[in-house]
Structure 1
Amino acid sequence: MSEHSAEFDRQTGRAVPPDQGLTQAQSDSDDQDVTTAVQGLAGLVADVDELEQVLAQIADLVVLAVPGSDGAGVTVVRAGDGPPVVLAWAVTAAFVREIDHLQYDICGEGPCLTAMRTGRILVSGSLGSDDRWPRFGGRAARLQVHSALSIPLLVRGTVVGALNIYARKRDAFTEHAVRLAEQFAAPAGITVGNIQVLHAAHARATQLQAALTNRAVIDQAIGILRSRSGGSSEEAFDRLRQTSQGENVKLADIAQRLVDEAVRRAHARHARSDNS
């Protein structure tokens, strides 16, 4: 067995196939595929508005990097304490989406969730008989998916997601395949971590812009109410707040409605003046 075999969780009673029959030419070719896939990671442009598209590109590179795979997916989770919370995921094939849907939304168990929870690589050569996931395994097997390889993506020891690789044949992933997947997972984790940072920064910037916009609209509404009543800013704000609570509508939306109404009235007055 390779030195890597002790570093992942294998299915009880089912050994990960050794690398028998692997020629030097095939090994060199697989190594080149991994190199190409890693280079592809470096060329990705992380468009924060299209997170799933970037993840889909990473998933395509996973299939290139790992021999024996029929499809793959990349999952991103919210980092922190407690069970993993899936934020986004992308896949290379419809059957992978169905498999991951079983894990995340129906069964609440599976190789990906376990890998992210434990921080260890998970390998299964016969999902239907894998007692680690009794609810998930049988359903996956009925979809004619029998092998799974899930690798947590780590950034400074924190799980930020996972690579999920599937095959229809049993015992599809050899120790050689696991080793190649590990080589790809390290830079992939950094890429996914960077994407999360960019996405979070974009979200904060959007929230800040919305807050500034809302503040400006509220100030305009306060000015309109003061011009009508002659009251103070505090009195005008209290009036907005009471209307918001009474109608169960956000304060900013109440303010925007008041400003829009004032603009319409101003336009109507100008129109009447022009026509007189």
Structure 2
Amino acid sequence: MTFPQDGDESPASGQLTADDANLQAGIRDIANLVADSRPLPELLAEVATFAVGAIPGADGVGLALLRADRVDDMVEESAVSAGFVVELDRLQYGGLHEGPGVTAALTRRTVLSGSLGGEKLWPRFGPRAGRLGVHSALALPLMVGDDVVGAITAYAFGKDVFDRHAAELGELFARPAAVAVHNARILAAALALTDRLQEVLLTRPVIDQAIGLIRGRTGRSAEDALAQLRAISQADQRKLADVARDLVEEAVRSARARTAPRSGV
């Protein structure tokens, strides 16, 4: 793994101006995403795309939203800007559990490599990336306060593509990106909770009806009747509400059959 030194050659002023403009455009785009309240997967994909423009030299970017309490399954949601990034991020997060994004998230610092094929820090990931024709990586932790919420990994096909200038621009981009990702995650969680609560409100009456039917037939308590419903739900691998609805509908059909007038013989 290589890190740019203070004596590294600075980019030309014209390139600096263009890079700064691309960074500003990326940050503006992120602000617009937040204002639009995009769904989480869509927002992550957009941020990954914007990162390609904001980080000089990037041929593709992977963005991973990470779970703080999981090592073996650390990715909660992910997005890529290009197809070749899919395999690289799958390797580092899902298969090998090593790579620039993993290291950036664990160390909470920017990580650079200009020759992945010979990178000693990632003895399994590096050679595989090199065989895929990807030789440079710049990884940035996405941090909100002291919490790491994710990581951005920029990849390039050439060697030694990313320098200190690229790292600095990437870090400037990562700050608003982290806030956008964090807010989108909170919004997605709130919407999911709202959906679950709405489902409870819609399904609770039919569950109560099914409990009443079981109690009437068996004389069991409400707790025992609910336990019976749950046992059926688990055995059939069906939702509790669906089991209750079938029970109620069957009781209604039976009642109608009993009360229906019969034709004479």
**TM range, normalised to the smaller chain?**
0.7 to 0.9
Separation in 2, partners of 1:237, 1:81:
35
Pairwise CA distance, 1:79:
3.4
Paired residues of 1:241 and 1:251 also in contact (CA < 8 A) = no
Aligned residue number for residue 235 of structure 1: 221
Match of residue 231, structure 2, among 221, 234, 245: 245
Matches within 5 A, 1:24-173: 24-44=13-33, 45-48=36-39, 51-80=40-69, 85-173=74-162
Rate the CA distance shift 1:166–1:200 in 2: closer, same or farther, 3 A.
same
Rate the CA distance shift 1:217–1:22 in 2: closer, same or farther, 3 A.
same
What do you get for the CA RMSD once the two structures are aligned? 2.9
Letter in 2 for 1:164: T
Deviates most, 208-217 or 190-199 = 208-217
Rate the CA distance shift 1:148–1:223 in 2: closer, same or farther, 3 A.
same
Paired residues of 2:211 and 2:225 also in contact (CA < 8 A) = no
Paired residues of 1:240 and 1:254 also in contact (CA < 8 A) = no
Letter in 1 for 2:45: A
Letter in 1 for 2:192: A
Task: Flag structure 1 segments of 5+ consecutive residues without an equivalent.
Answer: 1-10
Separation in 2, partners of 1:253, 1:237:
19
Aligned residue number for residue 174 of structure 2: 185
Letter in 2 for 1:241: A
Corresponding position: 1:258 with 2:247: yes
Pairwise CA distance, 1:150:
0.5
**Matched residue pairs, number?**
259
Rate the CA distance shift 1:212–1:171 in 2: closer, same or farther, 3 A.
same
Paired residues of 1:153 and 1:188 also in contact (CA < 8 A) = yes
Separation in 1, partners of 2:104, 2:75:
13
Task: Flag structure 2 segments of 5+ consecutive residues without an equivalent.
Answer: none
Pairwise CA distance, 1:78:
2.1
TM-score normalised by the chain length of structure 1: 0.83
Separation in 2, partners of 1:17, 1:170:
20
Deviates most, 138-147 or 98-107 = 98-107
TM-score normalised by the chain length of structure 2: 0.86
Separation in 1, partners of 2:137, 2:107:
16
Rate the CA distance shift 1:18–1:212 in 2: closer, same or farther, 3 A.
farther
Separation in 1, partners of 2:73, 2:27:
26
The C-alpha deviation readout for 1:31-69, integer Å capped at 9, x for no partner, is 011001000001113333xx2221110011001101101
Pairwise CA distance, 1:85:
1.7
How many percent identity over aligned positions? 44
Paired residues of 1:221 and 1:256 also in contact (CA < 8 A) = yes
Paired residues of 2:135 and 2:157 also in contact (CA < 8 A) = yes
Paired residues of 1:52 and 1:90 also in contact (CA < 8 A) = yes
